[in-house]
């Protein structure tokens, strides 16, 4: 007896950036000892967005999700799985995914959970959703990356506070007889945990440790370029494809120099990279779906094209997904 293979396919994208863009010069005006030239030369970042104090990751996720649902032509009750990637959740618990489910008015009992893999969060969440769908257990997933990194930035550390911003991106991922997602790969190496961390926690009613982001920028740079090239080759090999077949590379939007170095290692021209880091800075788990949605809505990415998503972040974690859009 033959069975038809089930694949997962992105049927809609959405994103949301809160408030007005904050320029590098705006940061200087706020008293940070930096310059537009330093930030642009080292990172490619020109603007970022910051959510107002009362706005949470699930608020941003809701806006991005509503846009993705509309693009997919789905209503919220058709969603049978929510996976939300974030390192800046609304609360310790309940999960931001559960809060998002409630805000979407879903009362079907569909599972909803957060994934915490920092800047690789969306690659992790998409891979998990793909496996749920391919197993046949679920048919229509909402996969979201949503972050309010402004809450964990040390404004006295100019080496990190200029790099990050807030935002959300979402996709609707549906079961399909055609791919869809062609290959995925996930990795982690906890021995790098000290390179990028927020080493704080809430304990007995007190914040203990350091509740701000800390980073060894140069070490992060080296590891990121190495593992992004490796994982890209891994998913290409798994799908039996060559780098030349990639129409668009959508790397985690952290730093233009990491993105260019990754493309170079793959032998891809810089024109094949989707770049939005200039407009929103590093939004961690939100950055890949944000970049995807911007490029889809701009008409840059078209149906049928081959996309490579790849993320790397604290943990260290890294992962990639190769797909036909
Ligand atoms: N404005 C002006 N000067 C600055 C700033 C700033 N915002 N930050 C640091 N400097 C100064 C430093 O004080 C130092 O001055 P000194 O030479 O007088 O001591 C000088 O600039 C060089 O500092 P470095 O930290 O060595 O700067 P570097 O060239 O390594 O650039 C950066 C720092 C941009 C963070 C770089 O290491 C990098 O791109 N790393 C990758 C990290 C990254 O992208 N992380 C994102 C999160 S991780 C992820 O998403 C995968």
296 and 218, same structural domain?
yes
Same domain, 251 and 150: no
Written as tens digits, the pLDDT of the chain (325 aa) is 456 789 999 999 999 999 999 999 999 999 999 999 999 999 999 999 999 999 999 999 999 999 999 999 999 999 999 999 999 999 999 999 999 999 999 999 999 999 999 999 999 999 999 999 999 999 999 999 999 999 999 999 999 999 999 999 999 999 999 999 999 999 999 999 999 999 999 999 999 999 999 999 999 999 999 999 999 999 999 999 999 999 999 999 999 999 999 999 999 999 999 999 999 999 999 999 999 999 999 999 999 999 999 999 999 999 999 999 9
- Residue 295 CA, chain-centre distance (Å), reads 15
pLDDT for 321 equals: 98
Task: Provide the pLDDT for residue 2.
Answer: 52
In sequence order, the β-bridge partners of residue 147 are 167
Cβ contact 171:65 at 8 Å: no
Tell whether 122 is covered by a domain. Answer: yes
Reduce the DSSP state of residue 53 to 3 states and report it: coil
- Does the annotation count 204 as an active-site position? no
The reply to whether 1 falls in a domain is no
Residues 107 and 205 in one domain: no
Of 126, 152, 177, the one marking the end of a domain is: 177
Using a 6 Å cutoff on CB, does residue 34 contact ligand 1? yes
pTM for this structure? 0.97
Residues 149 and 89 in one domain: yes
The answer as to whether 130 is a domain residue is: yes
Tell me the residue range of the domain where 19 lies: 7-177
Please work out whether the CB of residue 42 comes within 6 Å of at least one atom of ligand 1: yes
Where among 122, 150, 177 does a domain terminate? 177
Question: Measured from the CB, is residue 197 less than 6 Å from ligand 1?
Answer: no
What angle, 0 to 180 degrees and rounded to 10, lies between the N-to-C axes of helices 256-266 and 217-239? 40
Say whether both 239 and 207 belong to one domain. yes
Whether the CB-CB separation of 97 and 291 falls below 8 Å is answered with no
- Alpha-carbon gap, residue 287 to 253, rounded angstroms: 5
Does residue 297 fall inside a structural domain? yes
Residue 239 lies inside a defined structural domain of this protein: yes
36 domain residue, yes or no: yes
- For β-strands 47-48 and 22-23, DSSP reports them as antiparallel
Q: Answer yes or no: 282 catalytic.
A: yes
The CATH number that applies at residue 264 is 3.40.47.10
197 and 137 share a domain? no
2 is a domain residue: no
Same domain, 165 and 193: no
Q: What residue's CA is closest to ligand 1, atom 40?
A: 217
Q: What is the pLDDT of residue 5?
A: 86
HSE-CB of 295 using CA atoms within 13 angstroms: 25
Domain boundary among 177, 205, 235: 177
Per the structure, the count of domains in the chain is: 2
294 in Cβ contact with 15 (< 8 Å): yes
pLDDT of residue 322: 98
Question: Is 69 domain-assigned?
Answer: yes
Same domain assignment for residues 166 and 58:
yes
Same-domain check for residues 30 and 88: yes
Residues 26 and 149 in one domain: yes
Q: What span, in angstroms and rounded, lies between the C-alpha atoms of 87 and 56?
A: 12
| Rounded CA separation 195/121 (Å) | 17
Which residue's CA is the nearest one to ligand 1's atom 14? 159
Separation of CA 190 and ligand 1 centre (Å): 23
Is 24 known to be catalytic? no
pLDDT at 3: 67
Q: Are 75 and 223 in a shared domain? A: no
Same domain, 292 and 147: no
313 Cβ below 6 A of ligand 1: yes
């Amino acid at each position: 007896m033959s069975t038809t293979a089930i694949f997962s396919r992105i049927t809609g994208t959405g994103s949301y950036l809160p408030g007005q863009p904050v320029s590098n010069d705006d940061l200087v005006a706020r008293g940070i000892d930096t310059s537009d030239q330093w930030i642009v030369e080292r990172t490619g970042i020109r603007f970022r967005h910051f959510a107002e104090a009362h706005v949470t990751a699930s608020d941003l996720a809701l806006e991005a999700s509503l846009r993705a649902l509309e693009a997919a032509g789905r209503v919220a009750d058709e969603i049978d799985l929510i996976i939300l990637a974030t390192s800046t959740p609304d609360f310790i618990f309940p999960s931001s995914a559960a809060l998002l489910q409630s805000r979407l008015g879903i009362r079907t009992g569909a599972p909803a959970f957060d994934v915490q893999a920092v800047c690789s969060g969306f690659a992790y969440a998409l891979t998990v959703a793909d496996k749920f769908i391919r197993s046949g257990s679920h048919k229509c997933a909402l996969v979201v990356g949503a972050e309010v990194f402004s809450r964990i930035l040390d404004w006295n550390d100019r080496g990190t506070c200029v790099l990050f911003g807030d935002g959300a991106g979402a996709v609707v991922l549906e079961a399909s007889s055609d791919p869809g997602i062609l290959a995925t790969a996930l990795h982690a190496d906890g021995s790098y945990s000290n390179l990028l961390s927020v080493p704080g926690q809430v304990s007995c009613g007190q914040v203990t440790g350091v509740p701000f982001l800390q980073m060894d920028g140069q070490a992060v740079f080296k590891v990121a370029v190495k593992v992004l090239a490796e994982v890209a080759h891994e998913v290409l090999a798994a799908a039996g494809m060559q780098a030349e077949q990639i129409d668009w590379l959508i790397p985690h939007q952290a730093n233009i120099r990491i993105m260019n170095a990754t493309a170079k290692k793959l032998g891809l021209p810089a024109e094949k990279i989707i770049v939005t880091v200039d407009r929103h800075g590093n939004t961690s788990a939100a950055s890949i779906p944000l970049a995807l949605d911007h490029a889809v809505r701009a008409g840059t990415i078209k149906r049928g094209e081959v996309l490579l998503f790849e993320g790397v972040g604290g943990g260290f974690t890294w992962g990639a997904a190769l797909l036909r859009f």
